[in-house]
Chain A
Amino acid sequence: MIEARDISVAIGSRRIVSHVDFTARPGEVTAIVGPNGSGKTTLLKALTGELSYTGTVILNGRDLVSMKPVEAATHRAVLPQSTTLSFPFTVLEIVRLGLIGGRSGVLPGEDARLPERALARVDLDGFAGRFYQELSGGEQQRVQLARVLCQVWAPVLEGRPRYLFLDEPVSSLDVKHQLIIMNIARDFARRGGGVVAILHDLNLTAMYADRIFVLSRGQLAAAGSPQDVLNDELIEKVFDCRLKVGALPAGSVPFVLPQSAA
Chain B
Amino acid sequence: MAEQSIAGPAGRVRASDGDRSARARIVILLLSVALALSIFLSLTSGASDASAVRVIRDWLTGGVPADTALAARDRLIVYDIRMPRVLLGVLIGAALAVSGAVMQGLFRNPLADPGLIGVSAGSSLGAVAIIVLGTTWLAPVTLALGTLALPLAAFLGGLAVTLLLYAIATRHGRTSVATMLLAGLAIAALAMALTGILVFVADDRQLRDLTFWQLGSLGGATWPKIGTVGPVILLALATMPFLSRGLDALALGEATAGHLGIPVQRLKYTAIVGVSAAVGASVAVSGGIGFIGIVVPHLLRLAIGPDNRYLLPASALLGASLLLLADAVARTVVAPAELPIGIVTAVAGAPFFLWILLRERGVIDL
Chain A interface (Cβ < 8 Å from any Cβ of B): 45, 48-50, 68-74, 76-78, 80, 83-94, 97-98, 100-101, 128-131, 133-134, 151
Stretch at the interface among B151-159, B214-222, B223-231, B249-257: B249-257
Whether the pair B251, A86 counts as a contact (CB closer than 8 A) is yes
Q: Which residues of B contact A68 (CB under 8 A)?
A: 263
Q: From B5, which residue of chain A is reached at the shortest CB distance? A: A86
Q: Which residues of B contact A98 (CB under 8 A)?
A: 260
Q: Which residues of B contact A130 (CB under 8 A)?
A: 18
How far apart are A134's CB and chain B's nearest CB, in angstroms? 5
Q: A88-B301, A97-B252 are known contacts. Are A78 and B11 too (CB-CB below 8 A)? A: no
Q: Which residues of A contact B8 (CB under 8 A)?
A: 86-88, 133
* B 9-50 contacts with A by CB, 8 A: 9-11, 14-20
Whether the pair B305, A88 counts as a contact (CB closer than 8 A) is yes
**Which of B5, B19, B259 counts the most A-chain CB atoms under 10 A from its CB?**
B259
Q: A69-B262, A73-B260 are known contacts. Are A87 and B306 too (CB-CB below 8 A)? A: yes
Q: From B112, which residue of chain A is reached at the shortest CB distance? A: A86
Whether the pair A72, B261 counts as a contact (CB closer than 8 A) is yes
Q: Which residues of A contact B16 (CB under 8 A)?
A: 129
Q: Which residues of B contact A97 (CB under 8 A)?
A: 248-249, 252, 260
Whether the pair B10, A69 counts as a contact (CB closer than 8 A) is no
Whether the pair B261, A78 counts as a contact (CB closer than 8 A) is no
Whether the pair B20, A90 counts as a contact (CB closer than 8 A) is yes
How far apart are A32's CB and chain B's nearest CB, in angstroms? 17
Q: A100-B245, A128-B18, A129-B14 are known contacts. Are A89 and B260 too (CB-CB below 8 A)? A: no
Q: A72-B261, A89-B251, A97-B248 are known contacts. Are A133 and B305 too (CB-CB below 8 A)? A: no
Q: A87-B110, A131-B10 are known contacts. Are A73 and B259 too (CB-CB below 8 A)? A: yes
Whether the pair B301, A70 counts as a contact (CB closer than 8 A) is no
Q: Which residues of B contact A48 (CB under 8 A)?
A: 259
How far apart are B64's CB and chain A's nearest CB, in angstroms? 58
Q: A73-B261, A78-B256, A93-B18 are known contacts. Are A88 and B9 too (CB-CB below 8 A)? A: yes
Q: From B174, which residue of chain A is reached at the shortest CB distance? A: A84
**Can you list 9 A-B contacts (CB < 8 A)?**
A50-B259, A70-B262, A78-B256, A80-B255, A87-B301, A90-B20, A100-B248, A129-B15, A133-B10
Q: Which residues of B contact A80 (CB under 8 A)?
A: 253, 255-256
Whether the pair A92, B260 counts as a contact (CB closer than 8 A) is no
